Every structure is written in C-alpha cells, then in structure tokens.
Amino acid sequence: MISSYILIRKLDSLENDFSNLQSQVSNMMGNQNVTQQNITISGNNASLTEIYEKVKDSVVLILGKTGSGTVQGSGFVYNYTGTMVIVTNNHVVHGTNSLSVTFSDGNGYQATVNGTDPYADLAVLSVSTAPQTELRPLDIVSSSTLRVGEQVLAIGNPYGLVGSMTTGVVSALNRTIDESDYTGGFAIANIIQTSAPINPGNSGGPLLNLDGKVVGITTAIVANSQGLGFAIPSNTILREMWSLTQYGTYNGHPYLGLEGTDMDYETAQSMHINVTYGWRITGTVQGGPAASAGVQVNDVVVGINGVRVRNGDEMSSFLEENTLSGQTVVLDVCRGSQMMTFQVVLGRRPQPPA
C-alpha cells in the first residue's frame, strides 16, 4: 500500500511538472509571436520610407496656363523604349497654351504635349531641355495582379504641397467614373478605387505598390467624400503608350452604341424576368454596332465572350481591358424569357470634344 501511495504521488508530480512545462512553452510561443509581429510592423514602416526616398525624385509638379488662368497637377518620369517622357492626366493639360515641369530639386523646364487620350484621361509630355540627370524613371508593372485590400501609395503635389505621400488600400476594382467635360458623355472604365487620400493637385501622380512600381495614375476624387479616390490602371498606360507617342492619340476604345442601366430585383420584377443582374439596354444608336447585330431596348446583357457581367461597370471594364475596336465579341442577352447571343463587331468611338 505504501509503495502504491508513493507511485501515485510521483505520477501526480510528473503531471504537474509536465503541465508547468506546457505553460512555459505556450508563454514562450506567445512572446515570440508578439516579437515577430512588432518586427513586421516596423519593417513595413521602414519600407514606406525607403520607397519614398527611391521614387520622390521621379515625381514632378506640372503647371499650365490657360486662357482663363492656371492649372496644376502631378506627373512622373517614364522611360519608354529609350525616350524619357512625363506621364500625367489629360485633364491636367487640357486647354493649356503653355506648360512647365518642376522636379523635386526645384528646377523647372518647359514641357510640350506628345499625346492625349481623354477617354482614358492620359497624357504624355516631353521635356527636351531637361538634363538626363533630372530624368529618373519609374517602372510601370501590370495592374492585373492587383487585389482588393492590397496596400498602395500615392505621391503627388496636393494643393501645391510638393512631394506629398499618402497611403491606403485598393478598395475596389473595375469602377467607372464620369469626366463628361472631356469625354463627351462616355464613362472612363476599368478604374481602381483607393482609400489613399487624393486631393486637387494629386492628379497625374503615380499610384505605387509596395515595390515602388507604378500600378496606376491618380485621377479623381468624389467631392465631399471620405477616403474615396480613383486611379487609371497601369495596364491602360502600357496598352496606349505606343499610340500616344507615335500618333498623339489612341483610337482603340471599343464602341457598342448602347445606353443602359444596372439591373436589380425590383426592375426584374417589373419586367417579369428572372434575371436580377446585368445591364439593361435603355437606348441604341441607329446603325451602331449592337443595333446592327440585333440588340434591342430592354434586352439585358448578362455576359460577354462567356464571362458573366453583373453590371455596367463590369461590362465596360471587361471591354476596355480585353477588346479593341474592330474585334468581334459575343453578347449573352436575356430577352423576356429567352437567353440569346449576338455577335457584335465593335466600332470606334467618335472623337472626343476639343
């Protein structure tokens, strides 16, 4: 009996020792996680500083004179096949009769417009009198890999405050924005929405990823909004750069000749159809690409080339990213209780207003 009692006491002691050891290991692991998290956060802060130091000299202040006053914006240096250019927004240079570009060291030079595209709010400038030492180009990478929640940085000159950096995240993709004064009523599609604060004067500056590469151009804000900014995706720049530098314009934007509105449950109920998503046609251009193919008012476009589209933003963004004028696309359309397909040869948009 005594030996059994001693054995039980030893087992209890071993269990207590094992429990204490588990507790110590758990505490050590918890401390290790906290330490690792602090290192990661510190690393990100240092990274932002390093990115700014690396790219700040590539961002420029753009000043322009118009018949009624002056305009101001931002831009950045880009090396296109060996030629140094300044990339900015069309609305920054629209209507100007003289332009200058000022670098981060304060040196300013006369600039000229090489090409513009109001439908994408893009412009390319040259600064032929600037020495090569001033021209420090940024790399432009594909925006196709961007995901909602990814951190981005915006650098520009809000309200003339040169070299300002703000941070945020990609808050949405495939948006459309309206710049009717420059586009004649056509929406600018395939836009990046970001929470990085953007203010007047930021327009034309780069939107960067955490590698310091350009993924977009900051272009617009919503008046009286909190943390709602927009940027042209870098894929648009890469797609249009050759045409803008060679011909001064870009004519590849697809054109359907349609007007429409987003579908929803209430509209579907009133139309007595089962489709609650897509883009309902409210008007067609007589003789336009879609009308010529047989598309009618109250048809609901639910897909393009087999890709489901939930609304007009997705439809416009798909066309802008994946098609060109002159190409044939297949529209999936709901008409009453029928699902139909139409082959449409995309047209070319009319020239934007001067």
pLDDT digits (tens, 9 = 90+) for 257-305: 999 999 999 999 999 999 999 999 999 999 999 999 999 999 999 999 9
d(CA 234, CA 215): 5
Percent of the chain with pLDDT over 90: 71
Decide if 91 is catalytic.
Answer: yes
Which amino acid makes up residue 285? V
For 112, residues 6+ apart whose C-beta sits below 8 A from its C-beta are: 99, 125, 126, 128
Q: Which of 91, 94, 171, 316 does the annotation list as catalytic?
A: 91
Model confidence over 187-214: pLDDT tens digits? 888 999 999 888 888 899 999 999 999 9
Tell me the fold of 151-234: Thrombin, subunit H (2.40.10)
Q: What is the DSSP letter of 160?
A: G
d(CA 206, CA 208): 6
Decide if 117 is catalytic.
Answer: no
Tell me the fold of 58-134: Thrombin, subunit H (2.40.10)
Encoded tokens for 173: 């993709």
pTM of the model as a whole: 0.81
Question: φ and ψ at 258, to 5 degrees?
Answer: -130, 150
Q: Which of 74, 117, 121, 234 does the annotation list as catalytic?
A: 121
Check whether 9 has a pLDDT greater than 60.
Answer: no
Tell me if 332 sits within 8 A of 278, measured CB to CB. no
Tell me the fold of 254-348: Pdz3 Domain (2.30.42)
Model confidence over 109-129: pLDDT tens digits? 999 999 999 999 999 999 999
Decide if 203 is catalytic.
Answer: yes
Going by C-alpha positions, the residue among 205, 147, 141 that lies closest to residue 172 is 147
Tell me if 236 sits within 8 A of 216, measured CB to CB. no
Q: Which of 203, 234, 316, 317 does the annotation list as catalytic?
A: 203
d(CA 285, CA 273): 25
pLDDT level of residue 30 (50, 70, 90 thresholds): very low
